[in-house]
Amino acid sequence: MINGKKIVLGVAGGIAAYKACALTSKLTQQGADVKVIMTENAQQFVSPLTFQALSRNPVFTDTFDEKDSAKIAHIDLADWADIFVIAPATANVIGKIAGGIADDMLSTTLLATEAEVYIAPAMNVHMYAHPAVMENMKKLEAWGYKFIEPGSGLLACGYVGKGRLEEPEEIMKVIATDQENKNLLKGKKVLISAGPTKERVDPIRYFTNHSSGKMGFALASEAAKMGAEVTMVSGPVNLETPARVKRVDVESAEQMYEEMIRLYPEQDVVIKAAAVADYRPVVVYDEKMKKKQGGLTIEMERTNDILKELGRRKTSQFLVGFAAETINHMEYGRKKLVDKNLDAIVINNIKETGAGFGADTNVVTYINKFGDIKEMELAKKTDIASKILDEISKGLKEASD
């Protein structure tokens, strides 16, 4: 998946720049055409001549050093690239990209490219954990940039922790796997529900749950990266819409039901990851309810069972549900798989460490309608989402064979 690719490698100013030399060599050996951009600080660690020898291409260091008068170098390079890799990516470079700053050859080219961008951070453990760096990475991830997480160990500064540039072999493996996966759902229409719902009592009060929407948003983001045409019906959450995803905002269970039913017929894959209210108040007051003596009883009624209705209406859609449980999660999940006519279900115990609402990680079990089980160990929700979609793509392929 790397052979024949045109790759721009951006090298920022960190001691890990020496690893970028090995990465350049390995990418070239695999058949990639590599062109290197170095920041001014990167040149303090490694000479441009080193990268020129390894890549057999000129090295770019200065926005105003136009090697061909017929072209504007940073625009030409941005258009040339199939893949853009930044390794090592310092806190400074990550901040520049997130802030839209373009003040050198690397940042101007990055801002102009439409190629897929992979960012491999490398920095001190405390810098990596700083809220500003974390926030910048989250922003870029929401924009569609792909991160190759640093490893843990002894850092050049003497600290031990997370911040080491990932090894060149692993960086290449991540890129190759991602390039292979990006066509898994090409041409497929995918509908995903995400987040909680709010069931109003009066203009001030409502019933809801702890769902953050992170799992559904991760699924939408990863499905789009795999080439799918993604529509996401989201309850009220504080998350940025993933790149290349069409988002429909709703509030109540009834609104989510209506949108899911409306969009359902034209979909190839439907994933119901939303935590939808099972009950809503029978009476919704137009004015604020005033405090009274004694207790308060609010009569509740069932909401529409969205997943069951989708299962009843299913024609050719591949339908996937979620079962977030606190006890007997496997038993309840398997029952839901059958009762709601699903093709697969994702089951998790929200009491398990690292799983559940609000966390950035999850631990799940994927079971298809044939009883095949795939255990997915603790990982970031984006990684879990990728694995779930990989299993769904296998299910689609089996259904078409």
pLDDT at residue 36 is higher than 90: yes
Predicted confidence band of residue 160 (pLDDT cuts 50, 70, 90): confident
Residue 56 CB partners (closer than 8 Å, separation 6+): 28
pLDDT for 274 beyond 90:
yes
CA of 367: how far to CAs of 72, 274, 317, 348, 399, in Å?
53, 18, 17, 11, 16
In three-state form (DSSP H/G/I as H, E/B as E, the rest C), the secondary structure along 154-197 is ECCCCCEEEEECCCHHHHHHHHHHHHHHCCCCCCCEEEEEECEC
State residue 153's pLDDT score.
77
The string of pLDDT tens digits covering residues 62-107 is 998 887 777 888 999 999 999 999 999 999 999 999 999 999 999 9
Q: What is the pLDDT of residue 113?
A: 95
For residue 284, pLDDT beyond 80: yes
Residues with Cβ within 8 Å of 271's Cβ and at least 6 positions away in sequence, in order, are 190, 191, 192, 193, 216, 219, 320, 322, 388, 392
Q: Which range is least confidently modeled, 152-156, 228-232, 318-322, 342-346?
A: 152-156
CATH 3.30.465.10 applies to domain 6-181: no
Lowest mean pLDDT among 5-14, 104-113, 222-231, 355-364: 355-364
- What is the mean pLDDT of the segment spanning 323-327? 87
pLDDT of amino acid 359: 86
Mean pLDDT of 142-160: 82
**pTM confidence score:** 0.74
pLDDT of residue 306: 97
What is the per-residue pLDDT for 67?
Answer: 77
Domain ranges of the chain: 6-181, 189-284+295-400
Calculate mean pLDDT across residues 3-27. Answer: 95
The token pair at 313 is 């209406």
For residue range 377-396, what is the model confidence (pLDDT) as tens digits?
999 899 899 999 999 999 99
Q: What integer pLDDT is reported at residue 21 of this predicted model? A: 97
* pLDDT higher at 303 or 359: 303
At 29 the pLDDT is 95
221-250 confidence digits (pLDDT tens): 999 989 999 999 999 999 999 989 999 999
* Domains 6-181 and 189-284+295-400 are alike in CATH topology: yes
Average pLDDT over residues 25-30: 96
Q: How does the average pLDDT of the chain come out, rounded?
A: 93
Question: What pLDDT band is residue 172 in, cutting at 50, 70 and 90?
Answer: very high
Q: Which residues pair with 34 in a beta bridge?
A: 7
- Catalytic residue annotation: 157
**According to CATH, what is the number of the domain 189-284+295-400?**
3.40.50.10300
1-34 burial, b if ≥16 CB within 10 A, otherwise e?
ebeebebbbbbbbbbbbebbbebbbbbbebebbb
Cα–Cα distance for residue pair 67/61, rounded to 1 Å: 11
pLDDT for residue 158 = 77
Query: Can you give the pLDDT at residue 197?
Result: 97
pLDDT-derived band at 353 (thresholds 50, 70, 90) equals confident
